[in-house]
């Protein structure tokens, strides 16, 4: 999303971060196969990026909280149990698709994940 926004000349209009729902990856850099996929698609990224966990305070810091899958959505609702401003959504819902983003953790198919995330981000930018 950051790359799309920057390439569209809208970088000053958005503040974008990513965060995990669990503590498993906190402090880790971008997963090497994901990094290779980004590089193959000429997507810029911060090589110093480290994983962090989402917090309840993030609800007030961001206009939207986007989950990649239903499992992440359930876990986020444990951290942020209330959503009075309807900020929490599934990524593919922006594309009008009722399914999770393909998860490369289980399939190893980072290209399928790339396509899903790209479509979701493109549709989100059109709002």
Which tens digits make up the pLDDT trace of 75-91?
A: 999 999 999 999 999 99
The superfamily CATH assigns to domain 2-125 is Response regulator (3.40.50.2300)
- Position 24 scores a pLDDT of 93
- Position 106 scores a pLDDT of 86
Handedness of CA 33, 48, 52, 74 (dihedral sign): negative
> pTM for the complete prediction?
0.92
């Amino acid at each position: 999303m950051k790359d799309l926004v920057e390439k569209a000349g809208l970088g000053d209009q958005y503040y974008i971060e990513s965060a995990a729902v669990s503590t498993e990856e906190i402090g880790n850099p971008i997963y090497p196969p994901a990094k290779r996929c980004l590089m193959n698609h000429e997507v810029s990224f911060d090589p110093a990026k480290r994983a962090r966990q989402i917090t309840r305070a993030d609800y007030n810091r961001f206009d939207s909280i986007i989950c990649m899958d239903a499992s992440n959505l359930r876990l986020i609702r444990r951290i942020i149990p209330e959503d009075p401003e309807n900020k929490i959504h599934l990524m593919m819902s922006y594309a009008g698709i009722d399914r999770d983003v393909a998860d490369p953790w289980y399939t190893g198919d980072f290209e399928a994940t790339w396509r899903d995330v790209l479509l979701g981000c493109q549709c989100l930018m059109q709002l």
